[in-house]
DNA sequence: CCGATTTCTTGCCATTTGGCAAGAAAAACC
DNA sequence: GGTTTTTCTTGCCAAATGGCAAGAAATCGG
């Protein structure tokens, strides 16, 4: 639970987070390529990634897979859009490699918020953090070329190293063919 | 204050919001094309738009204006990215037409959160709402053509009707030249 | 280790979007 | 109302990205 503790402490460093940690009680292991969520399912929970990598994706109007988000060890995963909208799952959430997660149910989380306003502050700060990340990705999509966006990804640690290029391509908003050509250009 | 009340009630319908309303005490009027914020300024506040329209923009590496966001009557405005990151302003925030706003200072807002956990819940729900909006715009940028994105905008009420096309173009992530051609195509 | 499957690259050509510059149209200003 | 400034459109051509299909390369699964 050490990783979960330091994750939570990032948002509410002053608070005792033991009760909150305790509410992430359901543990699941997922084999590579299996699904944590599919569209239409109940997705009123958040999961903390203890091990592995996930991707969030859907099929667009033409039946093409679009990867919306990735999540690695030490981060949260789930269908956050649907979670915040309080709707059924919109996306697929799939393990990109063998993974292990701890889950907190949405109702349980609300109870934690109600019992301790410091946890409510966690909810707020986490949502703000999500806003920041999504805004920055949005800006990148709005203003940068596919090649620039790809270089941006590579600038990060080695996060992308086990991710198939076709997932990365759709995350960048381009086809795998185009990404392949961009890679050729760069090298 | 009626509009502000119903805005706040959208997020915390059960709560008495009078104290929170009271904290939006500073009122400002801005003439068309004047700035509420410029990069580097202190932007630790939120403003509620009582009248008028705003846009958030910056200059990219090539010195081209990029419109990031719009805000209309009944919504909040400010440099939300910098506000959440607790940094100095990153963007310009400009009145697109004569406008009037009510401002709440960030520190004051924190005091409200501290004094009443129900207001903290407002902070959380609003950040979640922002996440939803930004995610949806991000998805649109990632998966749709410029023409589809433009039609999407038009599908809304008459929101865009006083906005110069060049601002809309940069909001869509294209040049004004391209938008002009798209418009020709459509009609 | 080997066959089956998935992923990645490449060629050819189409479509979308951009850059620049000139002129038309609209809006702002006095 | 007329002048100035800003915004919008268009033509010409370039660059970026896509679609399809074939084959190469890598990975998977026993």
Summarize pLDDT for A15-38 with one digit per residue, the tens: 999 999 999 999 999 988 899 999
Ordered structural domains, chain B, with CATH: 2-115 (2.60.120.10)
Q: A81 and B128 in contact by Cβ < 8 A?
A: no
Q: Which of A122, A131, A133, A171 to mutate to test the interface with B (most CBs of B within 10 A)?
A: A131
A70-129 pLDDT tens trace? 999 999 999 999 999 999 999 999 999 999 999 999 999 999 999 999 999 999 999 999
The backbone torsions φ and ψ at residue A77, rounded to the nearest 5 degrees and listed phi first, read -140, 155
Q: pLDDT per position in chain B (187 positions), as tens?
A: 799 999 999 999 999 999 999 999 999 999 888 999 999 999 999 999 999 999 999 998 888 999 999 999 999 999 999 999 999 999 999 999 999 999 999 999 999 999 999 999 999 999 999 999 999 999 999 999 999 999 999 988 788 988 999 999 999 999 999 999 999 988 8
What is each CA distance from A143 to A53, A100, B60, B67, B155, in whole angstroms? Answer: 28, 36, 8, 10, 23
Query: What integer is the mean pLDDT of A151-167?
Result: 89
Give the residue on A whose Cα is nearest the Cα of B114.
A117
Residue A62 has pLDDT above 90, yes or no: no
Of A131, A138, A143, the CB nearest to B84: A131
Q: Work out the number of other CB atoms within 10 angstroms of the CB of residue A172.
A: 24
pLDDT at residue A1, rounded to an integer:
77
% of chain A residues with pLDDT over 90: 87
Query: What integer is the mean pLDDT of A147-154?
Result: 94
Q: Which residues in A lie closer than 8 A to residue B66 (C-beta atoms)?
A: 142-143
Interfacial residues of A (vs B; Cβ cutoff 8 Å)? 60, 66, 68, 80-81, 84-85, 113, 117, 120-121, 123-124, 127-132, 134-139, 141-143, 171, 173
B147-186 pLDDT tens trace? 999 999 998 878 898 899 999 999 999 999 999 999 998 8
β-sheet with A53-59: strand ranges across: A35-37, A92-95, A53-59, A65-72
């Amino acid at each position: 639970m050490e990783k979960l503790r330091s994750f939570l402490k990032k948002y509410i460093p002053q608070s005792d987070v033991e009760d909150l940690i305790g509410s992430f009680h359901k543990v699941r292991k997922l084999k590579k390529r299996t699904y944590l969520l599919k569209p239409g399912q109940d997705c009123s929970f958040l999961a903390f990634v203890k091990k592995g990598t996930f991707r969030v994706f859907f099929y667009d109007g033409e039946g093409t897979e679009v990867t919306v988000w990735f999540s690695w060890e030490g981060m949260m995963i789930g269908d956050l859009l649907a979670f915040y909208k309080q709707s059924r799952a919109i996306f697929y959430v799939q393990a990109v490699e063998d993974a292990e997660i701890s889950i907190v149910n949405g109702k349980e989380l609300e109870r934690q918020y109600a019992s301790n306003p410091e946890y409510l502050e966690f909810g707020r700060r986490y949502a703000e953090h999500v806003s920041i990340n999504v805004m920055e990705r949005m800006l990148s999509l709005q203003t940068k070329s596919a090649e620039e966006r790809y270089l941006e990804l590579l600038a990060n640690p080695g996060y992308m190293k086990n991710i198939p290029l076709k997932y990365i391509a759709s995350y960048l908003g381009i086809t795998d063919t185009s990404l392949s050509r961009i890679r050729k250009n760069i090298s």
